[in-house]
Structure 1
Amino acid sequence: MPVATMYAEFATREARGASPTYERLSLAISRDTDVLTLLERVPAPKRQPNLLLAVVRLLGGPVDDASAFHDFTMANWPAVEEQLRSRATQTNEVGRCALLLPVLAALRQPLALVEVGAAAGLGLYPDRYSYRYGRHRIGTGGPVLECALTGTAPPARLPQIVWRAGLDLNPLDVTDPADLAWLEALIWPEQDDRRQRLRSAAAIAAADPPTLIRGDLVDDLAHLVARAPADATLVVFHTSVLYQLPAARRSLFLNAVRAQPGHWISVEAPDVVTFAGLPMPPDQTLHNVLALDGRPLAWARGHGQAMQWLI
């Protein structure tokens, strides 16, 4: 996809209705030949809007004015490029646990969780958060994760998790101020609720640190899975991770995860993990597909704010 098109689609399909700042800025970048030319110099996965915008914010650059953003990016391109090349989008959005909960709660308990692309591991604590699906509330601790759920009944219980571990090329530590600053930079400007959720979830992880393994999701998955207790139901899951992989590597991972025991939950865009015969999504905004063991269950918004069940 041309870089200009990527930024225009991000503005209209993801930022619109969620971040007016990013919608305006992404549309401006889609027409900014200077910035687009610089972006062409970095590998394709490093050109994505979420990554560029977070890097500029991390470096102290402005995002509320397109002209100021242009000037900062051009003047500081060596630093921006270095960060683009060394970082990846690690949006550790705990709101996505609201998408996982109906599936996790329905599996045989207790559970052993393995998250692929875990970042700081905040997605490994779905039993420590609270949830609100419309009027239905579950849980009493941690941040309250709200999700507009249609097409199925909300879950009636929290999962029982006896073991949890994550795999990431660059695991983050929420007790490290630099790592926490990067996680906060990935949250869109107006979304103070997400920022507060992140801080609340980070406190939970800091009090009971997750097992995070630095490794590759293809080469090291089986080794981590082998450490899970045999008397718990294994669940390997990932949310908005595989789009960062080249197609060939993605295919190798899908083969690897299908070969593991237990269950596999994916929350990915429909062109990343594909399914035949999917119905149309609820609207034109970007939706992911929640799937269990390769079977699609629901359309889901990217940050867990809504989910429409398919069956």
Structure 2
Amino acid sequence: MVHARPMPDDAERLVAYYDDFARRWAHGTSPLYEEWAAGIAADPDMIMRIGSLPPRLQQANLLFAAARWVGAPLDDYERWRSWLVENWDAVLATASVRATRTNEVGRCATLLPVLSRIDGPVALLEVGAAAGLCLLPDRYSYRFLSPAGVHDLHPAGGPSAVLLECRIDDARDAPTRMPHIEWRAGIDLAPIDPADPDAVAWLATLVWPGPDHDARVARLRGAAAIAAADRPRVDTGDLLERVTTLAAESPADATLVLFHSAVLLYLNTPSRARFASLALSLGERLGRRVVWLSNESAGTYPEIDAQVPADADTARRFVQSVDGRAVALAGQHGAVYETRPFAG
């Protein structure tokens, strides 16, 4: 489709956003979402329709999941678009009362290389914890695939029902032991009960369609069952307001790891800067060692992005940083962990 007239700045932003979603995130992993997002980016009428919504409802993940929740056909863009226009009010009603949430337990595989290197007891504090699935990295089994072979790691009690696989580019990054987690807690604006079937069904709907993602749904449901049996603490509150108070409750003899994954992109720029300042100063405030482990998409923190080599492929990857220093590229769903771009 050709734009008949110059589009407003906000519309141009949405075109760029949906085009980026199609090319950098959905391409090669979810053909259907790639087609839907690319279709929207090339469809001025749909861009205008989405542009009339509040910013939260403009998110591709939320719009697509809400449509599927209501019953959208998993079909080509034109048929899906016709259905979406016809069911627009019902889709918006769903999107208005639901939200994109952390649902990818596979990301624990990209957190473990850092967590496993911490000596002594560890206290985990996750912001944007949702159902707390990523607060349980020591409850899952792992298989790291490296150039040197396969490296398996299991919980102390034996293999878990949930197996997380991750391809790493350096065998030295394969964890050889589980972290000793002494305490764990999370913060979320609206915590999710992993024992609630409706809540877990929504998390499953947030998983993208496509054969590459079928295993993700099974992992999600398996991790939810583990969390439901021994639910981690997730407090209701704003991450900027609650993090210092909750951090102070963690055991003084443990290294506190403040972490998050695909959370800060939902904050505005001033709030991100405020959180970074808080995270980097938390150890001094508490008088103990604190590690800030960040897993966020490029563009969240320009000062961290500047540490990523210009030729590094950040498509479908987060930039992982420790205390503000970029250390790896981590697959958005936990299947890839690459440190070679930062070697030397």
In the superposition, the TM-score normalised over structure 1's length comes to 0.94
After superposing on structure 2, the runs of 4+ consecutive aligned residues of structure 1 that deviate more than 6 Å are none
2:286 alignment counterpart:
none
Matches within 5 A, 1:49-128: 49-128=60-139
SS at match of 1:220: helix
The correspondence for 1:187, drawn from 188, 197, 207, is: 207
1:271 alignment counterpart:
299
Deviation at 1:114, TM superposition (A): 0.7
SS at match of 2:241: coil
Matches within 5 A, 1:1-311: 2-134=13-145, 135-139=150-154, 140-151=159-170, 153=172, 154-190=174-210, 191-261=213-283, 262-274=290-302, 275=304, 276-280=306-310, 282-283=312-313, 285-309=315-339, 310-311=342-343
CA-to-partner distance for each residue in 1:179-204, whole Å, 9 max, x for gaps? 11110011011211000100110110
| Bigger shift: residues 280-289 or 220-229 | 280-289
Contact 2:142 2:165 in 1 (8 A): yes
Any unmatched runs of 5+ in structure 2? 1-11, 284-289
Deviation at 1:80, TM superposition (A): 2.3
Aligned mates of 1:96, 1:242 — CA distance in 2: 16
Deviation at 1:44, TM superposition (A): 2.6
Query: What is the aligned residue count?
Result: 311
SS at match of 2:161: coil
Letter in 1 for 2:209: P
Q: 1:136 to 1:281 in 2, by over 3 A?
A: farther
SS at match of 1:259: helix
Query: What is the root-mean-square deviation in Å for CA atoms of aligned residues?
Result: 1.7
Contact 1:171 1:212 in 2 (8 A): yes
Letter in 1 for 2:323: D
Deviation at 1:284, TM superposition (A): 5.9
| Bigger shift: residues 300-309 or 69-78 | 69-78
Letter in 2 for 1:26: A
Q: 1:174 to 1:207 in 2, by over 3 A?
A: same
2:7 alignment counterpart:
none
- The alignment-based identity, stated in percent, is 43
Aligned mates of 1:30, 1:270 — CA distance in 2: 21
Any unmatched runs of 5+ in structure 1? none
SS at match of 1:171: coil
Deviation at 1:84, TM superposition (A): 3.0
Aligned mates of 2:260, 2:297 — CA distance in 1: 12
In the superposition, the TM-score normalised over structure 2's length comes to 0.86
| Bigger shift: residues 274-283 or 40-49 | 274-283
